[in-house]
Amino acid sequence: MYHLRRHIRNPEMDVEKGWKLVKDELGEDLESILDEALLSKCSEDGQNCSCTPLPTGTRMVSAPDRPHQITAIYCLPPAQSTKLGIPTLLTELREIDIHGCPLLFHAASSNCEYSCFRTAKDMILSVLGKGELVQQFELVDGLGRGILMHAARSNHVENFKEVLNGCREVADCMLPHDKPTVGGQTESLDPQLPATDTASADAGLLLQVLGKVDRMGKNCLHHAAEAGSYAVLDEVVELCGSLYEEMNTADIMGRTPIMYVLRNDSCRGQAQQGPTLTLREQSLRKKLYELYEALPDATCTRGTPVRTGWMKPSRVPAPIPTVPKKNRVDTRAVTELIHAARGGLVSLELALNELPLASRNSTESGFTVALDDALAVNITIDKAQEEQFHRTKAWGWALLLAAAAKLGGIDVLYHVLLAIKKGKFNLVKRSENDRDFRLAKVERPADGGRVELPRGDRVQAAVRAIKTRAKSVFSYAILSGRTDAMELVYDLVRGLFGNYTEVQTDDRLRLQRQLSPSVSMPHRGKGKVKSPLVGATFSSNWILFQKVYDTYEAWTGHRWWRQNVRAPRS
């Protein structure tokens, strides 16, 4: 099983080449190994060999005279030629993986250059029948996502349209009426049935299909914004039409679709050759503007035009205040900049460029943005506003710094720390475009040394504020998996709190607590405390792990033991 998957999942080759390598290596043992592989599942994701090529969107073989008709898939026909025969093929097509995803979900979510959705759909229709094809259209995975949400996360807009058409047909059949509400142009689930036109559906049916949410409260618009290509996102926004305001809501994490765009600066569906960075930037800009321009207009109190739902305060994690537990603490902030810092430098610049004009202070070369006004943190305790205003501002700095550290981007870390130190972002105009204001380029030392991150009292206050949640900026840098970021943040904390080997005992303990607090790893449950060494293990970066390991040895004076994993309690 692993032998086959290793070749099939190789992004440097298509299925045909991978299959040939398998045959050449195994020779006479191919049939027996294939029989065993077809009956097994991978322990990592529960997928069988038929599911393996589908998530990677590998290329299928097309007939020369019919270039748009996919005629073969390399992993499934061999199942018919082995002693296992058709029954095994039927089992393979019906299997679901450990996440509850059937074969068709993997085909619909392809994010590579080629897609095999049509092949998988036709094979299920011909082998299992329309009834089981409809069943796969009705299924949801372990996260409550249907096939349309998986298709929204792909970069194949034609696949998305076809899946949407199938979902509408299934939903239309469930409505209490005699005549179908669709009729048309797009291909049907059953080739013998007339095609349908997605534009002719009524708003209620369209909202029923597009407006479904998963267990995280995300609909198709969220998924297209988070992981889909610009073409798929554009199609979803166009389909929403007058329903856009209902679709553009926050999920249970408080994140809107535009926030998911800001958090992810990677682009899907672009060629891997050429100026990849420029392609990513273009894709990110197009996706952000697509969602931003779709927001309805509104007018702020100062009379300047703004967009409804953009740069509005929302709930954020609260610091641990010195108040009784029975008191209710409500913390709100404008989170677009925080999400942008988690996404990357381009995301941060885009968010700053789209700030309301009232938040800007014009300069000769560009404009500045006051950090505290942009974050607008407000802490309310039992309906009474927090009096310690400095701590409120410091918590906003901490949220922004934690997001930048978890990303691990040196440029973002530098500009965030500089903004915290000076209290403002400074953007310079790069072209005649009104939206093309950029942050200054971070100068690297000529000798190839490390960039020195900005320091100061406000930076120290932000680092201390992160510690109030039993976490540290150093631990966030480790979770980024970036060795350079971890080393820079380590030097930053040492510079703020003193050299570990030179300070007195009390100061040494304070420095060690900043570098190694009691850290709750994400998604690991409450009450489970992990140290930065365990965080380095989760980063899957051996060099980073070794550096953190060496730091532990320097602190303890001996080799690491199991009991040293747990961080010192404050």
pLDDT digits (tens, 9 = 90+) for 303-342: 556 788 888 899 998 887 656 667 778 889 999 999 999 9
Least confident segment among 161-170, 250-259, 423-432, 510-519 = 510-519
Residue 281 lies in a domain: no
| CA distance to 199, 244, 291, per residue, from 238 (Å) | 10, 9, 11
Token look-up 């209710």 returns 328
pLDDT band at 514 (very low <50, low <70, confident <90, very high): low
Choose the final residue of a domain: 464, 497, 514: 464
284 in Cβ contact with 268 (< 8 Å): no
Containing domain of residue 523, as a range?
Answer: 470-570
In this structure, what token pair is assigned to residue 500?
A: 């570990």
Shared domain check, 15 and 83: yes
| pLDDT at residue 172, as a whole number | 78
pLDDT band at 569 (very low <50, low <70, confident <90, very high): very low
Please say if the pLDDT value at position 72 is more than 70.
no
Q: Is the pTM of this model over 0.85?
A: no
Least confident segment among 3-7, 303-307, 431-435 = 3-7
Shared domain check, 523 and 439: no
Give me the DSSP letters along 201-212: S-HHHHHHHHT-
Q: What is the mean pLDDT of the chain?
A: 74
Cα gap 456→398, rounded to integer Å: 14
In this structure, what token pair is assigned to residue 46?
A: 């529960």
Who wins on pLDDT, 376 or 534? Answer: 376
Residue 269 lies in a domain: no
Angle at 99 between CA 96 and CA 105, to 5 degrees: 60
Choose the final residue of a domain: 188, 210, 245: 245
Choose the final residue of a domain: 420, 439, 464: 464
Please say if the pLDDT value at position 399 is more than 50.
yes
Domain count, the chain: 3
Cα gap 481→543, rounded to integer Å: 10
| Largest distance between two CA atoms of the chain | 83
Cα gap 243→204, rounded to integer Å: 10
pLDDT digits (tens, 9 = 90+) for 118-157: 888 888 888 888 888 888 899 999 999 999 999 999 888 9
| pLDDT at residue 335, as a whole number | 94
Please say if the pLDDT value at position 8 is more than 70.
no
Shared domain check, 475 and 439: no
Please say if the pLDDT value at position 2 is more than 60.
no
Shared domain check, 203 and 148: yes
Highest mean pLDDT among 259-273, 305-319, 468-482 belongs to 305-319
Residue 253 lies in a domain: no
Least confident segment among 50-59, 66-75, 482-491 = 66-75
Shared domain check, 484 and 392: no
Shared domain check, 84 and 30: yes
Shared domain check, 216 and 172: yes
Residue 304 lies in a domain: no
| pLDDT at residue 286, as a whole number | 92
Residue 121 lies in a domain: yes
Please say if the pLDDT value at position 559 is more than 70.
no
